[in-house]
C-alpha cells in the first residue's frame, strides 16, 4: 500500500522533478548539486551495497525504512534507507512555483487543526528551528488530524505509523551554502517560496482515501 502517490519505490537516485537551478534564488544550483548530487547519492549508493544479497533487496524503499527501523532498535541499513526516502520526499515537497498558500480542503484542515494557516506556519518553522543538530520538520496526518513534528537524523514519521505530507530538511547541508547558520531564514523562505502545496494536497487526498 503506497503511503504517498509518488514513486518512492525502488532504491534508486531519481532526480528532482525540476532542473537543479530551478529553485534559485531561494535554493541555489550549487546546493542542489551537493545535496542531491552528492549527499542523497551517497545514501542511495551505500544502501544498495548494504542490502545487496539480503532479503531487504526485494522490498520497496518504504518497506526497507520500516523494517530496518526495527521497532526502535535500528539495523545497519536504517540511516541510509531513511535518508534516501526523506530526501526524495523533500525534493518532491518543493516546486519552482511553490510557496503561495494552500487551498480548499487542505487549507480547511490546517485552519481546523492549527487555528489558522499562519499558526501552522509558525509551528512548522518552530519545529524546524528547534530540532537540535541534524533532522527534519514534518507535517503529518494521523487518525484524520494534521500534526507538526520534528525528527532527528534519519528518523521519519513512517516508522511511527504516521503519514507524512510535507517535509523540510534542516540538516546544515540543506541550507549552509545559501544561508550559512541562519536556519530560521531558510525555513521562512522554504514556506514562502518553495513548498509545493499541490504535492501536499495530493498526498492528503491519498491519505484520506486510504483511511
User: Quick one: 174 or 204, whose CB is closer to Fe ion?
Assistant: 174
Query: Nearest residue to Fe ion, using CB?
Result: 169
DSSP-derived letter for residue 11 is S
Least Å from the CB of residue 40 to Fe ion: 7
Site string for Fe ion, 115-154 (x = CB under 5 A): ----------------------------------------
User: Quick one: 66 or 87, whose CB is closer to Fe ion?
Assistant: 87
Least Å from the CB of residue 170 to Fe ion: 9
162 Cα distance to chain centroid: 13
The count of other CB atoms within 10 Å of the CB of residue 108 is 11
User: Quick one: 34 or 117, whose CB is closer to Fe ion?
Assistant: 34
Q: Give the integer Cα–Cα distance in Å for 157 and 139.
A: 9
Alpha helix positions (H), the chain: 29-34, 41-51, 61-69, 78-91, 104-114, 117-130, 172-179, 183-189, 197-210
Least Å from the CB of residue 169 to Fe ion: 4
User: Quick one: 187 or 204, whose CB is closer to Fe ion?
Assistant: 187
In this structure, are strands 145-152 and 163-169 parallel, antiparallel, or unpaired?
unpaired
Residues touching Fe ion, count (CB under 5 A): 3
Q: Give the integer Cα–Cα distance in Å for 150 and 164.
A: 11
Is 169 assigned a ligand-binding role in the annotation?
A: yes
User: Quick one: 69 or 175, whose CB is closer to Fe ion?
Assistant: 175
Is 39 assigned a ligand-binding role in the annotation?
A: no
Q: Give the integer Cα–Cα distance in Å for 178 and 159.
A: 31
**Residues 151-180 interacting with Fe ion (rule: CB under 5 A):** 169, 171, 174
19 Cα distance to chain centroid: 19
Least Å from the CB of residue 96 to Fe ion: 19
At 164 the three-state DSSP class reads: strand
Nearest Cα to Cα of residue 17 among 175, 202, 160, 210: 202
Least Å from the CB of residue 209 to Fe ion: 30
Which segments are annotated as binding site? 35, 87, 169, 173
Q: Which residues bind Fe ion (CB under 5 A)?
A: 169, 171, 174
Residues annotated within a binding site for Mn(2+): 35, 87, 169, 173
Amino acid at each position: 500500500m503506497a503511503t504517498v502517490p509518488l514513486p518512492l519505490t525502488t532504491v534508486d537516485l531519481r532526480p528532482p522533478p525540476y532542473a537543479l537551478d530551478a529553485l534559485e534564488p531561494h535554493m541555489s544550483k550549487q546546493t542542489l548539486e551537493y545535496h542531491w548530487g552528492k549527499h542523497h547519492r551517497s545514501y542511495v549508493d551505500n544502501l544498495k551495497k548494504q542490502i545487496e544479497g539480503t532479503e531487504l533487496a526485494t522490498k520497496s524503499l518504504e518497506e526497507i525504512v520500516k523494517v530496518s527501523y526495527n521497532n526502535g532498535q535500528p539495523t545497519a541499513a536504517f540511516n541510509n534507507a531513511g535518508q534516501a526516502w526523506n530526501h526524495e520526499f523533500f525534493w518532491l515537497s518543493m516546486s519552482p512555483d511553490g510557496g503561495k498558500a494552500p487551498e480548499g480542503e487542505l487549507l480547511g484542515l490546517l485552519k481546523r487543526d492549527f487555528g489558522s494557516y499562519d499558526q501552522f506556519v509558525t509551528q512548522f518553522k518552530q519545529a524546524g528551528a528547534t530540532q537540535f543538530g541534524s533532522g527534519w520538520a514534518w507535517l503529518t496526518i494521523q487518525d484524520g488530524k494534521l500534526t507538526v513534528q520534528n525528527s532527528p537524523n534519519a528518523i521519519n514519521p513512517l516508522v511511527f505509523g504516521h503519514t507524512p505530507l510535507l517535509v523540510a530538511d534542516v540538516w546544515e547541508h540543506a541550507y549552509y551554502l545559501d544561508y550559512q547558520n541562519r536556519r530560521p531564514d531558510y525555513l521562512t523562505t522554504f514556506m514562502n517560496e518553495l513548498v509545493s502545496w499541490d504535492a501536499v494536497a495530493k498526498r492528503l487526498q491519498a491519505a484520506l482515501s486510504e483511511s
